[in-house]
Amino acid sequence: MKIPLAEKEIDIPDGVQVDVQGPVVKVSGEKGSLQRAFDDPAVEITAEDDVVKVAAEFPRSREKSLVGTYASHIHNMFKGVTDGFTYRMKVVYSHFPVKVSVEGDHVLIDNFLGEQYPRRADILGDVTVTVKGDNVTLEGINKEHVGQTAANIERAVRVRRRDIRVFQDGIYITEKGA
Each residue of 36-70: pLDDT tens digit? 999 999 999 999 889 999 999 888 999 999 999 99
Average pLDDT, the chain: 93
Task: Delimit the domains of the chain by residue range.
Answer: 5-82, 85-177
The CATH number for 5-82, chosen from 3.90.1640.30, 3.40.50.2300, 3.90.930.12, 1.10.10.10, is: 3.90.930.12
108 burial (CB, 10 Å; 0-12 / 13-18 / 19+) is: middle
State pTM to two decimals. 0.90
Q: What percent of the chain has pLDDT over 70?
A: 97
Domain 85-177 has CATH 3.90.930.12: yes
pLDDT at 5: 85
